[in-house]
Amino acid sequence: MDEAAAAPRRPARPAAARPSSGRATGRATLGSLAQSAGVAASTVSRALRGDARISTEVRARITALATEAGYTPNILARTLVLGRSGLIGLVLGPVENPFYAELLQQAVRLAADRGCRLLLLHAGPGPIEDATTEALLQYRVDGCLVSSAELSSRAAAICAANNVPLVMINRVAREHGSAVSCDNRAGAELLATLLLEAGHRRLAVVTGNAATSTGRERTEGFCQFVAAAGGDMPLLVTGGASHAAGFAAGQRIAAMPAAERPDAVFAVADILAMGVIDALREAGLAVPGDVSVVGMDGISLADRPPYRLTTVVQPLQAMVARGLDLLLAGIEQGAVAAPQERVLLRGTLRLGASARLPESGLPLTGSPAAALPAAE
């Protein structure tokens, strides 16, 4: 017989006992808190939500236990039980435009104030893709804020069929959902009034994305106001939604003969106006000495040197707050049952150093009733 095989086996050594910390090593749950507190799990859930039906003493004891155990709610479990995730999807515009970075900052803060969290589903130009629409359903978002995108009929139908409410911010809803935006036409009219009363006569508009309601409304509002005031139809210069697009438009304006070149430019977004100013100055033209430039949005970057842009400031905080409130109402009532609204909020004029101003004072409102004075 083999000696190795015949050797007696040594008894196994008992494992060393690990020191106990006195706390469970697993993740705290409603069940473990309920066991520690000697109450039902539903009581723990209500107590942590601040439900007044639970006594103050019990709420305080359960809150203390939850804090000690490091308890955090299980969002997936809550979604299964309540049918809501507390998540709001956000479809954001191109991050190259500082306006959308400022909108994101406001949305995160204001959503948190309302007990919600944002899930960024899309960032960039162009239409909402099918994958983005599917993500709305896969991540069980309760609703969605859309700040800059083209919502296809299919995407709108999918959201409506699955009871997912939508609210557009800075856009107009075409098929499904409510919308909150600045009064783009009123803002454009105010800027037209400012330029006309300052004596400008050769006007131009650097346009935005033709597929978005914001750029269209601003362009139409400006041009219609000038026409109603008896002015010549403004020159339309193709722009876009970026500094580069504004710079290219500014180069085309700078290359025009001096007798034909516009003496004032309305860029439908501040980021475009900044590009226009850079191109004009690079070409040796003075702003506002040779050409006045105004914009619309009110981004903080445009208020700094070297731009000091005259613009209409969108009430961004109020827009996002109203949009979230409409969305939460839609979540509570159901996407189909909730009324669909369009809310327009007025912007405010911010005077900078990029445009010549009227000598007679500032316009209070845009009104084309009075005939234009003769140009000097």
Predicted confidence at residue 23, as pLDDT, reads 43
* Residue 251 and residue 283 in contact, taking contact as beta carbons nearer than 8 Å: yes
Retrieve residue 271's tokens: 């980021």
According to DSSP, the residues that pair with 342 across neighbouring strands are 179
Domain boundaries, the chain: 30-73, 81-182+316-345, 184-313
CATH superfamily of 81-182+316-345: Response regulator (3.40.50.2300)
Tens of pLDDT along 88-147? 988 888 878 899 999 999 999 999 888 888 988 877 766 666 667 777 777 778 888 888
User: Same CATH topology for 81-182+316-345 and 184-313?
Assistant: yes
The average confidence (pLDDT) of the chain is: 83
Residues of the chain below pLDDT 50: 1-8, 11-24, 364, 367-376
Predicted confidence at residue 29, as pLDDT, reads 81
Classify 184-313 by CATH class.
alpha beta
Tens of pLDDT along 354-364? 999 988 766 54
Predicted confidence at residue 22, as pLDDT, reads 38
DSSP string, 76-116: HHHHHHHS--SEEEEEE--TTSHHHHHHHHHHHHHHHHTT-
- Dihedral sign of CA atoms 175, 180, 183, 184 in order: negative
Q: What are phi and psi of 45, to 5 degrees?
A: -60, -45
Please give the Cα distance from 292 to 294 (Å, whole number).
7
| Percentage of the chain lying above the pLDDT 90 cut | 46
Please give the Cα distance from 352 to 325 (Å, whole number).
33
